[in-house]
Amino acid sequence: MALYSEKVMDHFRNPRNVGVIEDADGVGEVGNPVCGDIMKIYLKIENDIITDVKFETFGCGSAIASSSMATELIKGKPLSEALALTNKAVTEALDGLPAHKLHCSVLAEEAIKSAVKDYYDKNGIEYDHSQFPEGESCPHCGE
C-alpha cells in the first residue's frame, strides 16, 4: 500500500497548469513558509468564465497534487462553480488523501476562493462576504 493513490502521484509527477499568468485577473495566495506550504493561484477571467488558470505551490506531494487537481476542476468553468468547489471534491477527485494530508485540499479550495475574491475586489464587483471566511485553516499556526 503506497502512501498516495495513483491519481495523487500522477498529478504530483505531472502537475497540470503549473506556472504564472503575468496579466492575471485574480491572484490568490494561502499558506505560509513556516507551516511548509504555500499555494498561489492565478486566474484569467472573461465574462465570469475562468478561461485560464495556473498555480505555483511550495509544499508536499499532496499539496502539489491538490493544486493541480483543483485547477483542472475549475478551468473553463463559471466563477460560481469555482466558488462552490470544496476540499472534499478535490480529495474525491484525487481518489482520497491520507487523513493528515486533508489540509492540502483545504488550502487548494481557499487559494481558489482567495483568487476569485481578488478579482472581485480589483474590479469593484459586489459579492457576499460570507462566501470568503476570514483567515486560513492552518492547524499549525492559525494564521
Partner 1 sequence: MHIYADNAATTKMSRTAIEAMLPYMDKIYGNPSSLYTIGQEAKEALESARERIAVCLGCTPREITFTSGGSEADNQALLSAAAIGARKGKKHIISTAFEHHAILHTLKKLEKQGFEVELLDVHKNGLVTPEQVANAIREDTCLVTIMYANNEIGTVQPIAEIGAVCREKGVLFHTDAVQAAGHLPIDVVAQNIDMLSLSAHKFHGPKGCGVLYARRGIALTNVIEGGAQERGKRAGTENVPAIMGMAAALEESCDNMDSDNFRLAALRDRLIEGLDQIPYSELNGDREHRLPTNVNFCFEGIEGESLLLLLDDKGISASSGSACTSGSLDPSHVLLAIGRPHEVAHGSLRLTIGPDCDQEQIDYIIRSVEEVVTYLRNMSPFWRDLVTGKRPHVFAK
Check binding of 64 to partner 1 (CB under 8 A). Answer: yes
d(CA 108, CA 123): 23
60 catalytic residue (yes or no):
no
d(CA 32, CA 39): 9
Total interface residues for partner 1 by CB under 8 A: 27
Check binding of 15 to partner 1 (CB under 8 A). Answer: yes
35 catalytic residue (yes or no):
yes
For 47, which DSSP code?
A: T
User: Which of residues 21, 52, 58, 132 is near partner 1 by CB under 8 A?
Assistant: 58
15 CA to centre of own chain: 13
Question: By the 8 A CB rule, do 29 and 17 touch?
Answer: no
Q: Which residues bind partner 1 (CB under 8 A)?
A: 9, 12-13, 15, 18-19, 29, 33-40, 56-61, 63-64, 100-101, 139-140
